[in-house]
């Protein structure tokens, strides 16, 4: 009887573990299934390009993350800031949802508080507490992907914020709460 009850308990715990895994956000699930995660980023303001793996064998890679942090720096102040690795997970998943690999064009990555304040004062539609200042946002384009399709695919991920700026020709992604606008 005791052995049967322990077996049942293990079975139920196993089911609970599977249920909990199903509740993980997509980036966390995908991180467990891909042997390597690689991105190619192109900062349109500086012309810099980097292609590197950022996740491999169950862990984030410091070299890849550092190269991405550098290319996503505030180009106005040349200030580098750590970018939330979950943002790279979102970008990786977005490309796979669209069936595309290749270059991700960066319109804006990290923005220093001073840059953010300057853009906000200039009436550029910039949020006072922008996720860009925390290294948790990117404004981007994917060559060959219509902006509306990019927005749709980003919203389907069901993670973070998705802003649509067709007149400025970019989509905003962030690692904040799930929401969308534009």
Where do the structural domains in the chain lie, given as residue ranges? 25-181
- Left (φ > 0), alpha (ψ -120 to 50) or beta: where does 169 sit? left
Q: How far apart are CA 157 and CA 26, in angstroms?
A: 7
- pLDDT in the model for residue 157: 97
Burial class (CB in 10 A: 0-12, 13-18, 19+), 23: exposed
Q: Which two tokens stand for residue 96?
A: 């796979």
- pLDDT in the model for residue 23: 41
What predicted TM-score, i.e. pTM, was given to this entire model?
A: 0.81
Q: Which two tokens stand for residue 58?
A: 């169950």
Q: Are 134 and 98 in contact (CB under 8 A)?
A: no
3-state secondary structure of 54: strand
CATH number, domain 25-181? 3.30.1380
**What's the CA dihedral at 36, 97, 44, 124 to 10 degrees?**
-130
What does the pLDDT profile of the chain (182 residues) look like in tens digits? 444 544 434 433 343 433 333 344 454 455 456 689 999 999 999 999 999 999 999 999 999 999 999 999 999 999 999 999 999 999 999 999 999 989 999 999 999 999 999 999 998 778 889 999 999 999 999 999 999 999 999 999 999 999 999 999 999 999 999 999 99
């Amino acid at each position: 009887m005791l052995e049967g009850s322990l077996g049942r308990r293990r079975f139920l715990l196993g089911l609970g573990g599977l249920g909990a895994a199903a509740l993980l956000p997509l980036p966390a699930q995908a991180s467990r299934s891909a042997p390597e995660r690689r991105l190619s980023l192109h900062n349109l303001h500086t012309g810099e390009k980097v292609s590197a793996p950022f996740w491999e064998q169950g862990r984030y890679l410091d070299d890849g993350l550092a190269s991405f942090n550098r290319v996503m720096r505030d180009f106005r102040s040349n200030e580098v800031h750590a970018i939330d690795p979950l943002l790279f997970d979102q970008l990786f998943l977005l490309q796979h949802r669209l069936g595309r690999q290749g270059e991700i064009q960066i319109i804006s990555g990290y923005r220093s508080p001073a840059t953010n304040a300057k853009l906000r004062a200039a009436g550029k539609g910039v949020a006072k507490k922008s996720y860009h200042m925390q290294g948790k946002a990117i404004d981007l384009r994917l060559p060959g992907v219509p902006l509306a399709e990019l927005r749709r695919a980003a919203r389907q991920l069901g993670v973070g914020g998705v802003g649509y700026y067709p007149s400025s020709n970019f989509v905003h992604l962030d690692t904040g709460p799930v929401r969308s606008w534009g």
